[in-house]
Amino acid sequence: MWYVIEGHDGDDVLAARMQARARHLERLVSLRDQGRLLLAGPCPRIDAEDPGPAGFSGSVVVAEFESLEAAREWADADPYVEAGVYVRVDVRPFRRVLP
């Protein structure tokens, strides 16, 4: 089943985000290579493709896992959680309709 994972950034975490980014992306690339990643990306804090020092308000991942528990375990092990970037992570089932 598909799950949407939404990580919510804390305040002033851009430096920590950038430091943990490579490890965060490695996990997403692994999901992609397994054919289990629908989409992933950050949410700019301002209305701009590159928010600069304003940073990001969080990230969204839609990926396939065997269960809600497995999706939560994967999300809890994210380097952004370990680095203190995310102050909250929501994991919900997702029903893909389009495309």
Residue 11 in tokens = 């305040």
Q: How far is CA 90 from CA 5, 28, 33, 52, 95, in A?
A: 6, 17, 24, 25, 16
Q: For residues 78 and 26, what is the distance between their CA atoms, to the nearest angstrom?
A: 10
Over range 31-60, report the average pLDDT: 97
Contact 3, 65 (CB under 8 A): yes
Please say if the pLDDT value at position 61 is more than 90: yes
Asked if the model's pLDDT at residue 99 lies above 90, the reply is no
Average pLDDT over residues 93-97: 97
In our burial notation (b when 16+ CB lie closer than 10 A, e otherwise), range 2-12 reads: ebbbbbebeee
